[in-house]
Amino acid sequence: MKLEPLALAPIYKRKIWGGRNIQRLYGRELPADDIGESWEVADLEQGVSVVQGGPLDGSTLRQLVASMGADLLGDAKPQEGGFGLLVKLLDANESLSLQVHPDRAAVDRLPGAALKTECWYVLESRDGFIYKGLKPGVRPDDFRKAIENNTVGDCVIRHDVRAGDFHWLPAGTVHALGAGVVVAEVQTPSDTTYRVSDWGRGREIHIDLAMQCIHFDDEDLSPPGASGDVLVSCEFFTVARHTVAAAKPAGKCAVVMAVSPVGRVRIDYGQKKMTLAPGQTVLIPAALDASIIAESCEYLLVTLGSGEVK
What tens digit of pLDDT does each residue of 203-244 get?
Answer: 999 999 999 999 999 889 999 999 999 999 999 999 999 999
Query: Minimal CA–CA distance to 237: which of 292, 291, 306?
Result: 306
Q: Could you state, in order of their start, the residue ranges of all structural domains in the chain?
A: 6-211, 230-304
Q: Are 293 and 245 in contact (CB under 8 A)?
A: yes
CATH number given to 230-304? 2.60.120.10
Q: Same fold for the domain at 6-211 and the one at 230-304?
A: yes
The pLDDT of residue 307 is 63
The pLDDT of residue 309 is 42
The pLDDT of residue 310 is 39
Instruction: Identify the helix (H) or strand (E) that includes residue 175.
Output: strand 175-177
235 Ramachandran zone, left/alpha/beta (phi>0; psi -120 to 50): alpha
Instruction: Identify the helix (H) or strand (E) that includes residue 231.
Output: strand 230-233
DSSP state of 77: P
| One CATH from 3.40.190.10, 2.60.120.10, 3.20.20.70, 2.60.40.290 for 6-211 | 2.60.120.10
What tens digit of pLDDT does each residue of 100-139 get?
Answer: 999 999 999 999 999 999 999 999 999 999 999 999 999 9
Q: Give the span between the Cα atoms of 258 and 227, in whole angstroms.
A: 21
Query: Minimal CA–CA distance to 255: which of 294, 295, 292, 293?
Result: 292
- Averaged pLDDT in 10-residue chunks for the chain of 310 residues: 92 98 96 96 97 96 96 91 94 98 97 96 98 97 96 97 98 98 98 97 96 93 96 97 96 98 97 97 98 97 75
Cβ burial 71-95 (10 Å sphere, 16+ → b, else e): ebbbebebbeebbbbbbbbbbbbbb
The pLDDT of residue 136 is 95
CB-based contacts of 132-140 (< 8 A; 24+ apart in sequence) = 132/156, 132/157, 132/159, 132/167, 132/169, 132/173, 132/174, 132/175, 132/221, 133/157, 133/173, 133/174, 133/175, 133/219, 133/221, 134/174, 134/214, 134/216, 136/218, 138/216, 139/216, 140/211, 140/214, 140/216
